[in-house]
Structure formats: C-alpha cells, structure tokens
Chains A and B, each alone.
Chain A
Amino acid sequence: GQQVMQIPQYQHVQEGEDFTTYCNSSTTLSNIQWYKQRPGGHPVFLIQLVKSGEVKKQKRLTFQFGEAKKNSSLHITATQTTDVGTYFCAGFDNYGQNFVFGPGTRLSVLP
C-alpha cells in the first residue's frame, strides 16, 4: 500500500536558524497537504499543493511539490519559538481513495 515517509524524525535548531523537512511518497499523489500539530493540540492545516513543481510561500514558510508529485518539502526561514511542533505531510493517492499522513518531523527551537 501507499507509504509516506518524512525526514528527519526530529530536528533541534537554535532560534533564527533555518529548518527543512522532506516528505516522500511511495506512490504518486494527487495533491499534498501540510499540517502542524503543537504539543497537546490537534493537526492544523497549513497548505495544499496540487501542481507538479508547485512552490508556495507563507511568510517564512516555503512549500514545494516535486515534479513527479511523489515528494515535497517544507522550509522555514529564521525559525522562531512559535514554530515548535510536529509538521506532517499528507495526501491522497492518485485514485483519491487512501489519505495517508507521514510520521511527522518534530521541530524544537531553542531560544
């Protein structure tokens, strides 16, 4: 079945440093979504990418969807303590039936 992997599993950065998490799917995705979950909270939608090679920016966050629609990345510039949390990628396979979350990357930001 479809598998979605994320690396790294954990990332500790000093405040002000950049951060990147990578998402890889075993199958082509129709779209990819990114969610953030704060400790003790529930996942909150960040963005959706649909087109091959698409790049979207939200302030300090840059999201990219690979040309083959099997991988994606989230880059945070100049991290802040408010960026702490676990970042998940998720997506439907091309049949639109299986919606799978990656295992997440847990980000810690040291002040």
Chain B
Amino acid sequence: DTGVSQNPRHKITKRGQNVTFRCDPISEHNRLYWYRQTLGQGPEFLTYFQNEAQLEKSRLLSDRFSAERPKGSFSTLEIQRTEQGDSAMYLCASSLALAGDTQYFGPGTRLTVL
C-alpha cells in the first residue's frame, strides 16, 4: 500500500452544483479524517470515522456537507449546492487508533467553485 489516495486531485465546479470526493485510506487503518484547508491556514477538522461509524462532526460544518464510509474502507465527502466559500483544499487522513493515532495525509482535492 503506497499511502492515502484522494480523487480527483482537482475539481472546478459552478456554484450550486454538487461535488463528491473520494478518499482511499491506508488499508489497515481504522480511522479516517476529513479536513478543509484554505491558504495560509491550518487544516480545519470536518469529520472522522472509526471503521464505518462517523464519530464526530464539526459543529461548524454546514448541512450541505455529508460524508460516508460504508464498508469501513474508502470514504466519500459530498458537498451539495456548492458556494464560492467552499473553495479550498479538502484533505483526507487515516490512522490506526491503536498505534498512537498518527495521521497520514493524502495529497488532497483542490476544489474551485466559480
């Protein structure tokens, strides 16, 4: 396994459209995290899963955002009715909770909303 992968790497969409991103974690990792990062800022926590269960979701996260991890492996993050303020880098990370929870990040998906 070569690490965490994310697809697509770049997404340009028009305001009001829905977008979906995919994250494939390191295979034996049971935790999966989604973050949003804008230029010059630290990663902002969105949500995380342990196996298929969504354990925590940021209170700042709009109802337009939803994430799933149906079989406890890959995860998808969907943004409905995108807004220009959603433009950011969306990062996924995975970890093995029993191993100190070190998070390994994927390369991210850069979303641009026109």
A-side interface residues toward B, CB under 8 Å?
A: 1, 31, 33, 35, 42-45, 48, 50, 88, 90, 92, 97-104
Q: Across the two chains, which residue of chain A brings its CB closest to B106?
A: A42
Given contacts A43-B91, A102-B42, 14 further A-B contacts (CB under 8 A): A31-B100, A42-B105, A42-B107, A42-B108, A43-B105, A45-B103, A48-B101, A90-B42, A97-B55, A98-B45, A99-B33, A99-B48, A101-B43, A104-B42
Q: Interface size on B (CB < 8 Å)?
A: 22
A1 to B42, CA, bound (A): 17
Q: Across the two chains, which residue of chain A brings its CB closest to B103?
A: A45
A3 to B45, CA, bound (A): 12
What 0/1 pattern do residues 76 to 114 of B give for CB contact below 8 A with A?
000000000000000101000000111111111000000
Q: Across the two chains, which residue of chain A brings its CB closest to B89?
A: A42
Q: Does B59 sit at the interface, judged by CB under 8 A?
A: yes
18 residue pairs A–B, Cβ–Cβ below 8 Å: A31-B101, A33-B102, A42-B107, A42-B108, A44-B105, A45-B103, A45-B104, A88-B43, A92-B101, A98-B45, A98-B56, A99-B33, A101-B42, A101-B43, A101-B44, A103-B42, A104-B41, A104-B42
